[in-house]
Amino acid sequence: MAYEVAAPKYVRLAQTLQGRIEDGTYPPGTLVPSENQLVQAFGMSRPTVVRALDLLKRDGWLESRQGYGTIVRGRPEVVEQKDQRGREALERDESVSPGRLVQVDQVPVPPRVASFLGVPKRTEVLVRRLLIEEDGEPVELASSYFPVGMTDGTDLAEATPLRGSLREHLESRKKLRFDHVTERVSARLPSAEEADLLALSTGEPVLSVLVVACDVSGQALQVTDVLLPADRQELEDTYRLG
């Protein structure tokens, strides 16, 4: 059984600071608060603050300048590229993808997915989990969740790769219409099973792109959690599907 693992304090602090960069609280070119100010403002230890700042520097949000301080760089290009992982996951053809299905099963809905699908906690949902590999190395784990009732009359519960995308399959079999997608990107610790599939060391965080695909009324039809190893590669983006 997979368990939800809360992100460590330094990751949560990095997410908060990243959000303030995104909403303009810390504009590009300005100084972020000092370590002392952050310790006092968030009630966290200095090592936690330092690790959070180091994480944001590594990912390109911040830059240290000798004798001046830590500067906000703004939204790094690599994050712009990760924003499109949701559309790629939604449109991916399993039969030709560079990876393999590692799980097709009914499982208890993860807490972070339940609210988007509009189902009670501990409800069983169908998951299709696809591991993407490049040169024999795992680079992405995409877990797509569906309400069990929605899969009736489809091949989603079959443990074989589907031809065409999951979106196309649902639209053709269930006469549904996908209208828009919302992506929420955050860092978290993977479950033991996720870490094993992605060949990650203990305690190594992943970037989670939570993709919520909805119809025109806003009802979620599919939720996909795309996990990316942080060393191989919180924001929100909404776009319309043509």
Of 144, 190, 151, 157, give the one whose Cα is nearest residue 170: 151
Beta strand 206-214 with 180-188: parallel, antiparallel or unpaired? antiparallel
CA dihedral 159, 161, 162, 165 (to 10 degrees): 120
- pTM > 0.85: no
Taking the C-alpha atoms of residue 169 and residue 182, their distance in angstroms, rounded to an integer, is 20
Residue ranges of E strands in the chain: 62-65, 69-72, 99-108, 124-134, 137-147, 180-188, 206-214, 220-229, 235-240
Confidence at residue 210, expressed as pLDDT on a 0 to 100 scale: 87
Confidence at residue 4, expressed as pLDDT on a 0 to 100 scale: 43
Per-residue pLDDT of the chain (242 residues; tens, 9 = 90+): 344 445 678 888 888 898 888 888 998 889 999 999 999 999 999 999 998 898 888 778 898 887 778 989 877 655 555 556 667 777 889 999 888 999 999 999 998 899 888 889 889 999 999 999 988 899 999 999 999 988 999 999 999 999 989 989 999 999 888 887 878 878 888 999 999 999 998 888 888 888 888 887 888 899 999 998 876 554 344 445 55
